[in-house]
Structure 1
């Protein structure tokens, strides 16, 4: 399993149990009604597209939660490239249990695989630069754990997980606070007052705001938002390595290589988690 602070046994168990409760309610009546209680069978996870597989480890946990007696024979691992016709695993055991787990396994794996695929593709476009690909908080409510996990599987880097584990002073924070310096000063005072140690990223929209951050200091990274490549180069030159830099805002497959060539350290792309098309997977009896 990926080494990420949010991938705890407790968090994974809570996610799986909540998702199963949403789907099962007081019973999987389709399976209970049509399949004999003692019937046993097997099914395989069939890949029907091309991309990067993700969610296999999660599938193990889902099957175990539904029925600890289910046996999974794993053929492929998270992070491998797959094509149409590949079989990721075979699950065998009580037929009713396989059917009850089927949809949650597929929902998770299809979306996670799509995110891992997009992440791997965009990461490949950064070759030859120092830039690393970041995700964002533009995730599906109650599914962030899986989506950020998929980014890691695809070779990307997680930004902060939520509002609680890192500070990003975005444009609205800066405007509401009265400017760059007041926002940073207030944040530093807050951290001192509460005894918290959190990284501080400040979003800038202009070179003038970049200079204000440099004049103020006391932060950990400068975000360069919606800047054209030429402006990004100016900003990187102005910052001159004093703080890590992050490009953000409307970055696409067509523009990411040029953005990376400007010398930024990180590139954040919200589309990794909010605009992907699920990889076609199917759990089929055989």
Structure 2
């Protein structure tokens, strides 16, 4: 997903966007031969994601720049921790620093928020009436397609760094029949079970089929059609438990809809296999990281 080619393409575009005709400030203030060193330092606690992207921004600005990471992706850090050192021509250090920080701060923000949601899901084990999911050892926190256009590989990678899992990457990866699909099919006289069976006849045997339901009455049809995953969208806790019972291990159970950290433990306690959280990528706050001058 987050390959070197993907990183290179995005970072090149970001550097070009930020300095299409060079960095006027550096060109008029910094001697051409000046050499310096900076340190990437955490201003708050978080989870690391994007250290290779951080390095790529500097190396693509000038291959002579040396980046030495002091942390790995997925590792937690505390305020004041030094995360990397960067040394090279000062003009290029200062020109690339904002692009490097923009990528890394956002990716760390996503990883950190994901880590918080994963911890919230783990709290479900301590609640009365906790049910173990049928498919996994613990309820998984997954992302959605509500990502920043052009940055999906970076954001989904950051979710994994935070201990989460990825939902489908895009529309080409799996069948996901949602409410508007069902409404359009109903206009043609096709019911849910029939639609799922029709889809199954057209796709390869490895293609996963997920169906979104918004009320308990739809679950039997989803099961009858042979859905691989049934998403319970905006269900109450009571209905979520009832839905898990109705499905009874015959499909993966996903809970979705306005998930918050406060709500996740109780939802996870119902025995759902997956909780999808759009906020991981669409409502994230970047982590405060700084580049401190050393010499």
Q: TM-score, normalised by structure 2?
A: 0.89
Show the counterpart of 2:196: 184
How much does 1:46 deviate? 1.5
Moved more, 49-58 or 220-229: 49-58
1:142-180 deviation digits (Å, cap 9, x = unpaired): 111111111010000011111121221111111112242
Moved more, 151-160 or 128-137: 128-137
Contact 1:173/1:183 (CA < 8 Å) preserved in 2? no
How much does 1:196 deviate? 8.4
- Distance of 2:98 and 2:171 partners within structure 1: 31
- 1:65 corresponds to which of 60, 69, 77: 60
- 1:213 corresponds to which of 209, 222, 232: 222
Show the counterpart of 2:135: none
1:203-258 deviation digits (Å, cap 9, x = unpaired): 111111111111111x3211111001110111111111011110000111111001
- Distance of 1:26 and 1:132 partners within structure 2: 46
Contact 1:135/1:270 (CA < 8 Å) preserved in 2? yes
Moved more, 25-34 or 259-268: 25-34
Q: How many residues are paired up?
A: 277
Show the counterpart of 2:167: 159
How much does 1:185 deviate? 3.7
- Distance of 2:9 and 2:166 partners within structure 1: 21
Q: Could you list the runs of 5+ residues in structure 2 that have no partner in the other structure?
A: 126-131, 133-137
How much does 1:189 deviate? 4.3
- Distance of 1:265 and 1:228 partners within structure 2: 16
Show the counterpart of 1:3: none
Q: Secondary structure at the match of 1:126?
A: helix
Moved more, 94-103 or 31-40: 31-40
1:39-93 deviation digits (Å, cap 9, x = unpaired): 1101111211122122212112222211111111222222222222111111001
How much does 1:20 deviate? 1.6
- Distance of 1:281 and 1:155 partners within structure 2: 21
How much does 1:197 deviate? 4.5
How much does 1:139 deviate? 0.9
- Distance of 1:63 and 1:167 partners within structure 2: 40
- 2:20 corresponds to which of 8, 22, 25: 25
Contact 2:139/2:272 (CA < 8 Å) preserved in 1? yes
- Distance of 1:7 and 1:114 partners within structure 2: 17
Equivalences for residues 104-253 of structure 1 within 5 A: 104-127=99-122, 128=125, 130-178=138-186, 179-191=191-203, 197-217=206-226, 219-253=227-261
Q: Secondary structure at the match of 2:121?
A: coil
Q: TM-score, normalised by structure 1?
A: 0.92
Q: Answer yes or no: is 1:285 the counterpart of 2:284.
A: no
Q: Could you list the runs of 5+ residues in structure 1 that have no partner in the other structure?
A: 1-5
Q: Secondary structure at the match of 2:250?
A: coil
Equivalences for residues 90-101 of structure 1 within 5 A: 90-101=85-96
- Distance of 1:243 and 1:281 partners within structure 2: 42
| Runs of 4+ with deviation above 4 angstroms | none
How much does 1:183 deviate? 3.3
Q: Answer yes or no: is 1:255 the counterpart of 2:263.
A: yes
Equivalences for residues 43-82 of structure 1 within 5 A: 43-82=38-77
- Distance of 2:197 and 2:268 partners within structure 1: 31
- Distance of 1:196 and 1:61 partners within structure 2: 39
Show the counterpart of 1:11: 6
Contact 1:42/1:285 (CA < 8 Å) preserved in 2? yes
